[in-house]
Structure 1
């Protein structure tokens, strides 16, 4: 079997992520290694989170693949720690079958040991650094699968429980305190803590219930990583428009007339756009997979079948759980994002769904196919690992005015 190497470089955009994914699928006949730089930042709204999902897909498709780093050697502790301070470095090490240094020497044990140490430092934000972004991760295939910020401590041999919506509000406040959204934007963000906490709870509850196992709900996935990532976005409209010039729906969202209405804060420069970007990522079977399994359509379903199953999961009270009083939570997410005048992108399986909740507010009886933007071309998207939900929440709007 031959070997090829995929190199992660900038720009890190949604578009570049899809190109990398095509390379992963194209090289399926040989072992594909991955080479990552020490530093990697998103060049697009949602770009870095999309790159993380591509890394997960590489790891899942290449169980014998090697993660190539620029760490000089196993003895260069500072270089390895520096790599793991970056989200892509931490995530790659947690997902990769084998990690090697610059000379090709196996440093898997040391890399994973230090990755777990970083998980410990950020588990309750005590070791988090203030900056433009913050992350909390659960690595289900390790002993650090229940970070304190997301789970109540386990008692005895029992597993901990995902924190409730009230406790999840602390997570939102911590994110707001760590990421640089600006003082006035932070004030408005904190006014919206409760609805944002509800969204996070719904999405993280979905990952807890459905993303840790195969579609049978019994066989644990290894590796399995679930994370929530928050990033402050604060730039002029012209700069942001250039960053999203290849994403027409997001471009229109940024320029939407509602941003120029009296809802917009007079104390903020009118050309500025400020958002909290939140991504929830898992490496599970995908949002539609459990629904397809329930419908006994999991064996090579067509793209229309996959889209139909995904839309089922977006509707209220459609569930793969035995508890029929609850759905998969995405109905509530859409309703809350309408209140917050948000934007969302969902990437799972072969499907990408996008929605502007200003131009297209949610209603419970809506026709999903008419409300979401999606590309129905059969070859438009390659099959990607897990599920990624990225949301933009304005932090210079007054809610309910």
Structure 2
């Protein structure tokens, strides 16, 4: 398994197929990826690492190909490395870590992550990494002494629970003010509100479901991560961030086109917040299918159900008031995420199990709306012939999940969301 070069959404999906057929116990990677990273790639990279770890179990070795254990600069190299989410995830999920020559790196050096953890807990978000990017990392390492970082969690009756929305909003606003100190208070409030809702709903969902397998057993190792990245796009660099993916290319071209109309001939620019949320749990469909009465303990729901059943299970997760928790107070989380993305002209890539979906792009929105007007509805929901799930509010399309491609995907562990929100300049 090699993550040292040619990292894109397409190449990562190809690697998942290879992983399914024959998995090497050694995962080769570098501590500092090529920058800038195209949109959606960070989340998929973390999910690939999680999948590799679940595939080979306790045999996984993370081999860092740009590290030498004998170097006098080893500690400094590793300290910087832990500021990259993929390094921490590879470290946490692996049984052992090695340098380029296969020399074991002692687990005690993970203490270097403490400085970033301190920054997360003290709201010093610009120091949650050591890169040139405008970003912030918030990462929960399962079973670690400080698994529940204080910026996201509070203790209530001896339990760690996600902070309420008003507090998460203040945290997100603080993050944005550090990433973009030139923004006005109005700009900060406008973008912090929807982002806070997304963070709270998706991280709470991961906190609720991702720490245990479908049988209820607590995973020995795992992560729940949310990262923010602020990116300034214009006609000169948008292709770098879109990469080779046609969906991203169409979405970014549309947003920049709208900016061009407003700027009346000036070079159009647009600011984006990319938020990546990744967990190492069973995935949306596994959770839903394992909550049904006919599921047998010990079964893998993906092995006994086809992709059509899996697709239906994912759609159920996004329907309002649907929940597999048997808690009457839950069931609006993913539905509210969908509404926020629609209202903010956002883009989302969802990857879980054997399926990938998108929301966004002007052409997809028009096409889905046209097809949905003729589709047979089941209440506020319809499934189109191409497998697109459409969720209505009254007579209008509220949200949809369109298959990312016509091609079948390999199984990916956990769930990842890559979300793009444009910011009004």
TM over 0.5: yes
Distance change >3 Å, CA 267–CA 160, structure 1 → 2 = farther
Question: Which structure: greater strand fraction?
Answer: 2
Q: How does 1:72-151 map to 2 (within 5 A)?
A: 72-73=68-69, 76-126=74-124, 128-129=126-127, 131-151=133-153
Q: Answer yes or no: is the 8 Å Cα contact 1:235–1:274 preserved in 2.
A: yes
Partner SS state of residue 160, structure 1: strand
Q: Answer yes or no: is the 8 Å Cα contact 2:347–2:419 preserved in 1.
A: yes
The two structures have a TM-score, normalised by structure 2, of 0.81
Aligned residue among 214, 217, 225 for 1:227? 225
Q: How does 1:163-178 map to 2 (within 5 A)?
A: 163-178=163-178
Shift of 1:345: 0.7
Indicate the larger mover: 94-103 or 358-367: 358-367
Give the Cα–Cα distance (whole angstroms) in 2 for the partners of residues 24 and 110 of structure 1. Answer: 29
1:49-74 CA distance string (max 9 Å, x none): 21111111111112202111233227
Give the Cα–Cα distance (whole angstroms) in 2 for the partners of residues 44 and 184 of structure 1. Answer: 24
Asked if 1:274 corresponds to 2:302, the answer is: no
Shift of 1:380: 2.0
Q: Answer yes or no: is the 8 Å Cα contact 1:237–1:254 preserved in 2.
A: no
Q: Answer yes or no: is the 8 Å Cα contact 2:126–2:134 preserved in 1.
A: no
Aligned residue among 67, 71, 74 for 1:71? 67
Structure 1 unmatched ranges of 5 or more = 1-5
Give the Cα–Cα distance (whole angstroms) in 2 for the partners of residues 396 and 85 of structure 1. Answer: 29
Partner SS state of residue 275, structure 2: strand
The two structures have a TM-score, normalised by structure 1, of 0.86
Asked if 1:195 corresponds to 2:191, the answer is: no
1:8-58 CA distance string (max 9 Å, x none): 124432112212222322323xx4201221211453111122111111111
Partner SS state of residue 247, structure 2: helix
Distance change >3 Å, CA 330–CA 259, structure 1 → 2 = farther
Distance change >3 Å, CA 170–CA 269, structure 1 → 2 = farther
In the other structure, the counterpart of 2:395 is none
Partner SS state of residue 68, structure 2: coil
Give the Cα–Cα distance (whole angstroms) in 2 for the partners of residues 88 and 289 of structure 1. Answer: 24
1:158-211 CA distance string (max 9 Å, x none): 23221111011122113213335x835885243232222112111111011111
Distance change >3 Å, CA 83–CA 315, structure 1 → 2 = same
Instruction: Give the superposed CA RMSD.
Output: 2.9
Q: Answer yes or no: is the 8 Å Cα contact 1:139–1:225 preserved in 2.
A: yes
In the other structure, the counterpart of 2:394 is none
In the other structure, the counterpart of 1:61 is 55
Q: How many correspondences in the alignment?
A: 384
Shift of 1:340: 1.0
Partner SS state of residue 197, structure 2: helix
Distance change >3 Å, CA 146–CA 267, structure 1 → 2 = farther
Q: Answer yes or no: is the 8 Å Cα contact 2:259–2:269 preserved in 1.
A: no
TM superposition outliers: structure 1 runs of 4+ over 4 Å: 184-187, 264-270, 361-364
Structure 2 unmatched ranges of 5 or more = 296-300, 373-378, 384-388, 391-399
Shift of 1:105: 2.7
Give the Cα–Cα distance (whole angstroms) in 2 for the partners of residues 60 and 123 of structure 1. Answer: 29
Distance change >3 Å, CA 97–CA 245, structure 1 → 2 = closer
Give the Cα–Cα distance (whole angstroms) in 1 for the partners of residues 206 and 332 of structure 2. Answer: 10
Q: Answer yes or no: is the 8 Å Cα contact 2:259–2:268 preserved in 1.
A: no
Partner SS state of residue 220, structure 1: coil
Give the Cα–Cα distance (whole angstroms) in 2 for the partners of residues 396 and 237 of structure 1. Answer: 17
